[in-house]
Every structure is written in structure tokens, then in C-alpha cells.
Structure 1
């Protein structure tokens, strides 16, 4: 490329969107972000001097927009937190997300339609859910540009930005990312008046294309976090880069997590009452799931690896290191992130996958008949000035396990089968209230929000004994629950205390471990009749349910009843 096309990046974050364009030979001129660690990281990697800036400053001031440098390309990734399904289960306030997005589109509209515009393309990235809350098109009036449009002899009701025909949902794994991350991309090649979606370079089954990249490729070709300190040369698994191990500052440290944390992650991945099952630990033969902005070990969205060192319980599993997460996001190993470990992680998780950005940058070059460079433009040596080194080459001492807040809510179920779960909880799940200190038994039916809930009264388990005893193995199950297991059930108050401390006390089991033991007991019994068909007695809201769920109902109700009367 003789003359480099210029790029300006809004909501630039760590710079993943810009990095993909730089790799294709574009010149990154400026980045805007309201978070200082983001601008610090952006400046560090692109050798710029950008200042912290709130994008909403451009909401009403045309003068502010006019002062923005004119560039060939505008890119932006408005914050996804408002739209994310993982934020308050998708119920977060969307107004700020919409406002920020429309502010970005306002800037694009001015730069696109101004006299002597040099804008050749613009792109916007966000979570898929954002589509539901944005208009399919925006007039100048919609973007608060009526006065500007009149000044430039454009009708205020003229469409300034068309998203309907210029939006696509893409999967980063299709473009060589080591991550299956679905995102919505909007934008257009201005002279073609449309978004051109790049052709995938990889596919799941490998039909005519290379297969998706997998986590295993990192594990097999990159040092483990527990490797000894050395001056060995480390090769980037995605780019033609080789650096000394000592130049990697965010990988050689122990990310092992407490058993109390990974147990929660495992449970909600495998036994979630209304969402599908997920792998635990991660299936390393597949691309990674989405790297999120929050580094957390006890949620359904947590990315959990089996640790390379032999530990049981605490430290048996670990989180990815910052560098592993950055590789998954498509950053070269020379790319640096400023701040603490949690800040670095947030910078990585909020970024745009460089491989996706690179693919769209290539569509610009192709559309403008500009010859691509023979090699990707990447930094071959890291700039480590001011970068916090996370490496300590030590095994973590796990002697301070996390505890729950006072009066924390508990919800746990032994098995998910037959599209239903039997749950032990210390609050009313249907009303989401905790009026008393009672433990409860309930049954959730179906998948998705709004599923039916059946509340089961204390003592109901006694009505099930005659039914269970008719099944082969039923009497053995009843004997196990009532001789040995029931002695492990503490009072309601004691169960709450153990749950908050995340540990059992003597002979009494912490409530989630009680429920897990129920699962173990059920799994140990051979069930020859897989279905319980209700005839004379109505127990469940469904006529046919798995026999194992009948056993689960008995045991869970035994726990809640025993705890509440002690």
C-alpha cells in the first residue's frame, strides 16, 4: 500500500479493532476512550498521545465533531455491558448503551455526509443482543442533526445511517480466532453503499477450509504458566514473532482457583435449571468460549482449565492467564496491557478480536482495489516500559478461601434430566424473596425464562416412600438416605452458616455438598425403569418424569424438612 489509509477508533479500549487494521497496513491516527487504562494501553501499543475522552461529549456539539481528525476509516465498539445477556440475565438498563451507540452513529453521519468527505468505510462492533434495541435506520433528525442537515441542504428526514441492510452476525472462529465469539458488525464501504462481509477462512468441520483453531493449539505450542524461568525463545502461535520468555510479562504465574469457586462454576455449567449444559473443564479440542471482561472463577461464564500441576480440590483447576486470554483474542505476544491483572483482563475481554478486524480491513482494500502487503504488519519486539510484570514463577498458596455474604442465597440441584430440576434453596425462587430462614424444595420445569415452578411442602417425602419402594433399587436408596445421609443434615441456621463459610462442619455437610452427595447416591443406584409414569398418585406436573428425579425429590425434600424442624 503506497499511501496508508488512516483510521480513527472510538471506544478504542485496548485497541483490538485497530490492531487488525494495522496488521493490514492501515495507519492508526487516534483512539477515544473514557477509561484511562484503555487510553494508556492504546497509546503504548500505537505510539500515540491520546487523551481520555467521554464519547458523550460529541452528543450535542457539532464543533466537537468537527474537531475530530478526518480519516479514511472510522471504527468503533460501543460498550456491550448494557446489551450483554450475562449482565443481570439480560435485564440491565439498555438506555446508556443505546445512547452511546447513537452518539457514535452521529459522528459517522457527519463525517460521511460532510462536504469533501474522505470517509471510505466505517464499522461498528457489538454483542448480538444490541440489534434488538437499535433502529434499523437513522435519519439526521433521529441523530439530533436537523440543524446540521438544513445547513448542508439535506432534508432532516433523509436516512443518514442504514443499519438494516448493513448489519451481519459473525463468529470470530470463522476468521481464525481461537475463540467462538459471536458479534454483530454494522458498517459500509461508502462507495458501494453496503457492508461487505468477508468470506470465512476457517470452518467447524473443515469442509474445504482449515478447521477451527482450538485451545489445545495454545496448550501444545505455548509454555505452561508453571514452566521454569529461562531465556528460551517463545514463538507466537499466530504470527511470525519470536521473543525470549523473559519478555512475556503476563503468563508465568499460578491462576489456580479454590474448590469453593470452581464447584459453583461446574454446577451452573452442568446443572443450570433453564440453560443448556456446558463442558467442565473447557473442551480443549474446540475454540475457546467468549473471553468476558470480568475475571471470575465461580460463574457459568467462567473459562476453567484443568491445572497442569497435580492438585486436588483447591487449585485443581485454573483460569487462563492474561496472555492466554490475549492470544485467544488474537493479540500478538508482543502486544502489552497496562495496569493490574484484573485491569489487563478487562482490557482483553472488552476488545475486538484482531482476526475479525483484520478480515473487515481486507474488504476495504479489496473494494478500493488496493494491493495488500505480503506480510502482516506486527510489532516484532515488545515495549515493556511501564508494564507491570505479573510473573512470579511460584505455586500459589491457597489458604484464604472465599466466603459468601451474610444471608447469601443458595440454590442447588442434584441432577438435570427430563427437562426439569429438583432444587434445594433458602429463598422463594418464584418470587425471588427470602422472607424467612426456611429451606425449600421446588421443581423447575422446562427451559428458558418463565418456566413453571412447583413448590413442595415439608414432609412430602414421606408420601413418596411407597412409590419408590416399588422400583428395583428403591429400598436401597431409601435405606441410604435414612441411614447415614440424614445424620449429615444440620439445622436451617447451621446450613446457612456453612453455606456462607463455604465449608462443612464436622459431621454436618455444607448444603451444596449435601445436594452433591444426593447426586452421587442416585448415580450409584442402577435404575432399570428409567421413567416414573404417574397413574393414581400425582407428584409432578408432568405425567412422565425420569425415575431419578423422583429419587431426587425425596432426598431434597428430606433435607429441607429435616433442616427446618431442627
Structure 2
């Protein structure tokens, strides 16, 4: 049976259907590396560089001449608009909805044409799209003529996790359309495939180039040196992994994440972003107290791409984006298999090697030397907003920020705030420091002694901004915002001995009641910032 793949990306969806014995006849994407990758691994498909929305709006004759009739349509509209990682899920959804409707318009035009052969169609996206997709769409909803109603949501529509299909990744996706319910391969979390199964199979990227590698997802072997985009090391500089570590382990109200990755569990969701210093960065331990990012091949195998699948791009970033945007092939295979079984068709019982396109230029990252990045000074208007590290009690935290500065005039202001919770429940409090009175006079004396001891490090707000923008090495002996927060945290650790997280203090201003340790952090930091406020800017 024939398949058409829209927003085909690197071809993970098509690959799953290929392994189940189907043939992708037509595929489209508007990103050239995606088109090259799909064509390079699915050379029998007519893979075109085009805009799906434009195609969906073509006049009938042009539309049906370009898009062939197929029994199956699959598609994964770009998910950035609907992702929770896009402004915490609050990003503009209009473009995402437009692309979603473009895909549904294509499905409808093929499904309700005269003598249609379309039998199955599947839409894949992030779970959050479920809030924005309607159960059904009329012809008018899709800008088409006719009186049909395209039923989009069925009983088996919902969120599926790739780990339940044998993928070594905890990746939840929403799928809907017209398809038989796929069979879950793994039902219990204790049986899911861990990240270490991928890393152990592929081995150290810089060693054992002559050994045979067993594909961690499929039953075939390749010589290690013939596996592309794996034999290189992208090591992280200390300033990169230290920032990532802090964001993973101490990101305010957000949950703690493993650093480095916990290889005994399925990998976290592979993202299209190849950043090395973010909360979402995937980081592996490397030798003694060193860290690296995954190779492109490691990411691809985590996504369940076979080791003979090639990714066409001229950089690690482009190739990683191709992988991160894809549909995991083993997950796609499960849906393809359900269709095959529904039709009474036999599914291949062994992996068939990929027949690569011979005319495409391919860049192999093997043996590329990646220089460890040097820390660069921040731009002079760099913003700062962070809390006293590892101090979050009952959703309260004490934050230091320069967000109220006049960045155009470069007149900088530093403030201290008490934050509580997140999202709709988020609150920010700035009670007067003098309104917080401790019954323990000895504590007040210790606070004052500490503030006095820090005085010779304090500078004006503008100078504090300049010191914030220096590199870690340039800032040795100087006080930046991170150093200031670390100093306050160290004081709290040494001072707060008999005070527990359950101890609270009452104040006249909002929030009326705050944890005592949070109150101490707020008072100390506020006293220091007020002293800096009194220093005249240069």
C-alpha cells in the first residue's frame, strides 16, 4: 500500500511504515535538510521542497496532479506552537492551528474526492495539541466546498508514549485520525528500554572502530567505522555544564532533573534544540568529572532510527534538529503494523537495510574535532533573574533581578523579590525589610555582622552590572550576582542550625506568613542590595 507523508521531516514516520512493508510515494517538507534526509533514505519517494499550506489551497487540478492518491496519509505538523517548552505553553498558537488545518484540509480533499482510495490517516503532535484540535471539522471549517464532516477524534485517539513501543525514550505524543489501535509492546515501566542499552551497544564514540556493532533497536550489524555521525566528542566547557547542572537541579519551582543523564531509565524527550547549557540539554558523563553532549548517532538510536539511517546536514546542530523533530520509527512501525494486520497483510519479519540515494551529497561528522568553547563576556545589557541557590521552601524562593533596569539608557537597578509558585498561582512579594522582625536578637546580630563583612565587595549598581557581564575568570575576586547569591546561601547554611523548613514568621505585609529561612535570605540580600543602592553610579 502507498503512503503520503506531510511535514515529513527526517522521515521517521515514513521509516516506520517502510519497515512494516509500506511504500512512501510522496513526501513534502519546507526545510531543505529534511527533504534531503527523507530523499536520501527513501529514494523511491517523490520528496518535494514545498509548503504544505500552499499545497492544501491549490486548485483541484493542480492539487491532485501534485499529490498522488494513496491509501494512507501520515503527517506531523510542526509542534513548536503547541509545545509546553514554548513560553511555558503560552506561545502564539495561530500558526500551529493554521498548519494543523492545512494537513486536515489535504486529508479531507483526498478522502472526499470521487473514487477516493484513502483508507487510513494519522496525525502526530505534542500532547498539548489536544486542547486545540476539534473532534470534527466541517467542509466550511477547512475552507472547502461540500457538506462532509471530517471526524478527527476517535476512541483510540490520545496520548501515546514511545517507551511503550520499545523506544528507549520517554516521549509522549498525541495521535489521532482513522487507524486501528496499535498494540503496546511494553506495558510495565520495569520493562522499558533504558538509555544504557543504546550507549552500551554503540560504545565509546572514539574507541573500537573495527568492531561489529549490533543495532540497539533492530536485528542487524554494521562495522563501527561505517556508522555515520558517531565518532566524535563534543565536550562541554566547565561554564557550560555548570550552568546546565544548576538549571537542571535548581530551577526554581520546576522539578529536579538528573545531571548527568540517568542511563538506567529511558532517555528524556529528545529535543530539536541542540543547546548545551539549558535545562533541556542532554548531557552524558565523560571520563573523570568531564561532560559531553550526545553524538548525533546516539540521539538517533534513542529515537529508534536504525544505525544505517543517514541525516543530511552540514553541522551537529542541523542533524540534531532533524533527529529531535522526528517521529520515532519504532513507534510509527506499531501504527503501520496495526494497519497491516487490519488488512490481513503480512509484516516483514526482519529488518531490511536502507537503500540510500546515490546522488545526494552527504556530510559525515565522524572524526570532526570540536573545540571546547571558551566562555565569552555577556553583552553589557545582559539580564539576570535567579534565586538563592537550592533554597526553595513551600514554593517560596528569594530572587535577585535586574529586570527593572532601563536597558536602553544603561541605567541598572537591582532588586530583591520573594516569589511563590508558578503559572496562574505565581505571586511576587516585596515587603519592607524592616517589617520582618526576628525574635532571636542573636540572629539579627549575625545578619548585621555578615552584611558588614561583605561591604568591601559591594559596588554601585552599574559596576555590579559590569561585573555580571565578565567571564568567570575575569570576575575572580570580584562580586557578581551569582557570587552574591552563593555568599548569602553559605551564610544561611552556617547560621540556620535549629530552624527547620516548617518554622514560619508573621509579618504585617503580604504574604503575611513566610518560612523563616526564606525571611532570613530576603532580609540579608535586601540589606546588601540597599547598601549597593546607596553607592553612587560611575
TM over 0.5: yes
Distance 1:383 1:239 in 2: 24
Aligned pairs, how many?
527
RMSD of Structure 2 on Structure 1 (CA): 2.9
Aligned to 1:451: 426
Asked if the contact 2:435/2:508 (under 8 Å) is kept, the reply is no
Aligned to 1:240: 219
Select 1:181's aligned residue among 162, 171, 181: 171
What is the deviation of 1:185? 0.3
1:81-122 CA distances to partner (integer Å, 9 max, x unpaired)?
Answer: 111221233232211111111111111112122232222211
Aligned to 2:202: 222
Asked if the contact 1:25/1:377 (under 8 Å) is kept, the reply is no
Distance 2:74 2:61 in 1: 20
What is the deviation of 1:197? 3.1
Aligned to 2:79: 80
Select 1:532's aligned residue among 499, 503, 506: 503
What is the deviation of 1:280? 2.6
Select 2:50's aligned residue among 35, 49, 53: 53
Aligned to 1:141: 140
Asked if the contact 2:41/2:355 (under 8 Å) is kept, the reply is no
Structure 1 length-normalised TM: 0.85
Distance 2:367 2:163 in 1: 32
Asked if the contact 2:435/2:509 (under 8 Å) is kept, the reply is no
What is the deviation of 1:293? 1.1
Asked if the contact 1:423/1:556 (under 8 Å) is kept, the reply is no
1:152-185 CA distances to partner (integer Å, 9 max, x unpaired)?
Answer: xxxx2x3123325452111111111111111110
Asked if the contact 1:409/1:427 (under 8 Å) is kept, the reply is yes
Matches within 5 A, 1:153-164: 156=147, 158-163=148-153
Aligned to 1:153: none
Asked if the contact 2:201/2:213 (under 8 Å) is kept, the reply is no
Aligned to 1:541: 511
Asked if the contact 2:236/2:291 (under 8 Å) is kept, the reply is yes
Q: Is the alpha carbon distance of 1:309 and 1:288 closer, same or farther for their aligned partners in structure 2, counting shifts above 3 Å?
A: same
- Secondary structure of 2:24's partner? strand
Asked if the contact 2:29/2:49 (under 8 Å) is kept, the reply is yes
Select 1:14's aligned residue among 10, 25, 29: 10
Distance 2:183 2:441 in 1: 61
Q: Is the alpha carbon distance of 1:46 and 1:59 closer, same or farther for their aligned partners in structure 2, counting shifts above 3 Å?
A: closer
Aligned to 2:400: 424
What is the deviation of 1:35? 0.9
Q: Is the alpha carbon distance of 1:505 and 1:490 closer, same or farther for their aligned partners in structure 2, counting shifts above 3 Å?
A: farther
Q: Is the alpha carbon distance of 1:182 and 1:554 closer, same or farther for their aligned partners in structure 2, counting shifts above 3 Å?
A: same
Aligned to 2:252: 273
What is the deviation of 1:216? 2.0
- Secondary structure of 1:302's partner? coil
Asked if the contact 2:42/2:356 (under 8 Å) is kept, the reply is no
1:427-453 CA distances to partner (integer Å, 9 max, x unpaired)?
Answer: 149x99999511110011123345110
Asked if the contact 1:502/1:510 (under 8 Å) is kept, the reply is no
Q: Is the alpha carbon distance of 1:242 and 1:544 closer, same or farther for their aligned partners in structure 2, counting shifts above 3 Å?
A: same
Q: Does 1:407 align with 2:403?
A: no
What is the deviation of 1:521? 4.0
Select 2:339's aligned residue among 364, 367, 370: 364
Aligned to 1:105: 104
What is the deviation of 1:326? 0.8
Aligned to 1:231: 210
What is the deviation of 1:554? 2.9
1:325-382 CA distances to partner (integer Å, 9 max, x unpaired)?
Answer: 1111110111100112111011111101112101111110121122222223343999
Q: Does 1:551 align with 2:520?
A: yes
Asked if the contact 1:465/1:478 (under 8 Å) is kept, the reply is no
What is the deviation of 1:542? 4.9
Aligned to 2:465: 496
Asked if the contact 2:3/2:24 (under 8 Å) is kept, the reply is yes
* Structure 1 unaligned regions, length at least 5: 150-155, 190-195
- Secondary structure of 2:467's partner? helix
Aligned to 1:511: 481
Distance 1:469 1:222 in 2: 62
- Secondary structure of 1:405's partner? coil
Distance 1:432 1:125 in 2: 42
Aligned to 1:346: 321
Asked if the contact 2:273/2:321 (under 8 Å) is kept, the reply is yes
Q: Which moved more, 1:133-142 or 1:339-348?
A: 133-142
Q: Is the alpha carbon distance of 1:178 and 1:358 closer, same or farther for their aligned partners in structure 2, counting shifts above 3 Å?
A: same
Q: Is the alpha carbon distance of 1:498 and 1:28 closer, same or farther for their aligned partners in structure 2, counting shifts above 3 Å?
A: same
Q: Does 1:522 align with 2:492?
A: yes
1:202-247 CA distances to partner (integer Å, 9 max, x unpaired)?
Answer: 24533xxxx111222223332223x247322222111122212221
- Secondary structure of 1:427's partner? coil
Asked if the contact 1:489/1:514 (under 8 Å) is kept, the reply is no
Aligned to 1:65: 63
Asked if the contact 1:420/1:446 (under 8 Å) is kept, the reply is yes
What is the deviation of 1:23? 1.2
Distance 1:382 1:563 in 2: 65
Select 1:38's aligned residue among 34, 48, 52: 34
1:2-56 CA distances to partner (integer Å, 9 max, x unpaired)?
Answer: xxx2111000000011111111111121211111111100010011452211111
Structure 2 length-normalised TM: 0.89
Distance 1:90 1:122 in 2: 27
Aligned to 1:89: 88
Asked if the contact 1:427/1:435 (under 8 Å) is kept, the reply is no
